[in-house]
Structure 1
Amino acid sequence: MIEVRKRSRTQTKARILQAVGDVISERGVNRVGINAVAEKAGVNKVLIYRYFGGWEGLLEQFLKEGHFLSEYNQEFLKNNSEPDQISKSQTRVNYLIGLLRELKVRTSAQEMLKWEISNPGSYLSQQLVGKRNESFRKILETFFSDEKEDQHALTAILVSGISMLLLMAPGQQKFMDIDLQSDEGWQRIEHAIHRFYNP
C-alpha cells in the first residue's frame, strides 16, 4: 500500500512538472502561475504547495529535472563515446546541429531562455545558469577540448548565436538575408556550422 502511494505521488509530481513545461510553452514564463499549472496537470493546487513548497520551489524543480539543455547534453554524452581525432569534428557538428534542431521545437526551452535574459539577477535565473554551465562542462571536456584552439570560446559563440536566432525567429522574417521562416534559411545556418569544422 505504501509503495502504491509512493508511485502515485511520483506520477503526480511528474505530471505537474510536465504541466509547467506545457504552460510555459503556451503562455511564456511571466504568465505562468500555480493555478494554470494545477489546471493543466488536473490536480488541486494544494498538491503543488505540498510537493514543491510553492511556485519558486516548483520552478526550481522544473529547472533541475526538466531543463532541456541538461537533458540534451546527457543524452548526447550517453549516445556518443569519446571520439577519436578524425571523427571529433563531425561529432562537434552533430552536437551543434542536433542542439539547433531540438531547441527549435522546444518552445518551453525558448521561453525559459527569454525569461532568463530578462531576469538575470534572480535566484532562479542563477540556478539555471549554474545547471547549464555544469552540463556544458562535461560536453566541452569530452568533445570540445583542443590544445591548439580555444574550442570553448568558439562553442560559446556558436551556441549563443543559435539561441539568439531561434529567439528572434518568431517575430522576424529575416536576419541579414537569412529567412528564419523557411527550411532553406535554417539549412543555410546548418551548412555554416559544418563549414566551421570542415572548411
Structure 2
Amino acid sequence: MEVRKRSRTQTMARILQAVGEVISERGVNRVGINAVAEKAGVNKVLIYRYFGGWEGLMEQFLNEGNFLTNYNNQFLATHTEVEPNAHNQTRINYLIGLLRELKSRTPAQEILKWEISNPGLGFHSELTTTRNASFQKVLEKFFINENEDLNALTAILISGITMLLLIAPSQAHFMNIDLQTEEGWQQIECAIQRLFKR
C-alpha cells in the first residue's frame, strides 16, 4: 500500500513537472493532456484519474507552482529582521529579486499571460486571493511609509515589471530600452534603485 502511494505521488510530481516543461516550450494555450502525458511518459488516463482532467491538472499546477506567492513567502522567511534605516535597500532587493526570478521562469510568465487571457476560470479567484494576501504581508512589513503611498507605488512597479517581462519575447524595444539585452534590464534595475534612493 505504501509503495503504491509513493508511486502515485512520484507519478503526479512527474506529470506536474511535465506541465511546466510543455508550457515553457509551447505556451499555455497550446498545451494539452496528450502533450503533457507524452512529456511525462505516462498514459493520459492517469491524468484524468489523478487530476480529473485538464482543469484539475492546471489548478493543481497553479496551486503548487504559484511563483509570486512562493517568492513572497521565501522573501519574508529570509528577511525576518530589517533595521529601520535599511528598509529602502530591502525594498530594492525585493523588487529586483522579483524581476530576476520572474525573468528566469518561463512557465511562470506563460501562466501569467494565460491568467490574463482566461479570467473566467473558477480557480482564478482563489489563486488571486492567495497571491494578494502574500503581497499584502510583504507590503505591511517593508513598504509602510506615513509620508508616501508605497502600496500604490509598489503596485505600479510590480505591474510594470510584469508587463515588460511578458512583452519582451515579442517586442525587442520598449521606449528605447532593449528588452533583449542584459544592458536593457540593468537600466530597469537602476531605475528601481533610484526610485527608493531619492
The reply to whether TM is greater than 0.5 is yes
CA distance in 1, matches of 2:61, 2:147: 38
Cα distance in structure 2, aligned partners of 1:121 and 1:198: 40
Unaligned runs of 5+ in 2: none
* Structure 2 match to 1:129: 128
Task: Quote the residue 2:39 is aligned against.
Answer: 40
1:188 alignment counterpart: 187
Displacement of 1:147: 2.6
Query: Which runs of 5 or more structure 1 residues have no equivalent in the other structure?
Result: none
Report matched runs for 1:64-143 at 5 Å: 64-143=63-142
Report the RMSD for the aligned CA atoms in angstroms: 1.4
Structure 1 CA distance, aligned partners of 2:186 and 2:86? 22
Name the residue aligned to 2:9.
10
- Quick one: which amino acid aligns to residue 109 of structure 2? Q
Q: State the partner residue of 1:153.
A: 152
2:170 matched to 1:171? yes
Number of aligned positions between the proteins = 198
The Cα of 1:139 is off from its aligned counterpart by 1.6
AA in 1 matched with 2:105? R
* 3-state DSSP of counterpart to 1:22: helix
Paired with 1:21 and 1:142, the residues of 2 have a C-alpha distance of 32
Q: CA deviation at 1:127?
A: 3.5
Question: How much does 1:183 deviate?
Answer: 1.0
- Helix, strand or coil at the partner of 2:119: coil
Provide the rounded CA distance (Å) in 2 between the counterparts of 1:97 and 1:179: 17
For normalisation by structure 1, the TM-score amounts to 0.94
Distance 2:60 2:136 in 1: 21
Separation of aligned partners in 1, 2:192 and 2:119: 28
Partners of 2:195 and 2:124 lie apart in 1 by 31
Rounded Cα–Cα distance in structure 1 between residues aligned with 2:85 and 2:150: 16
* TM-score, length of structure 2 as denominator length: 0.94
Query: Within 5 Å, which residues of 2 pair with 1:18-37?
Result: 18-37=17-36
Structure 1 residue 197: Cα displacement: 0.7
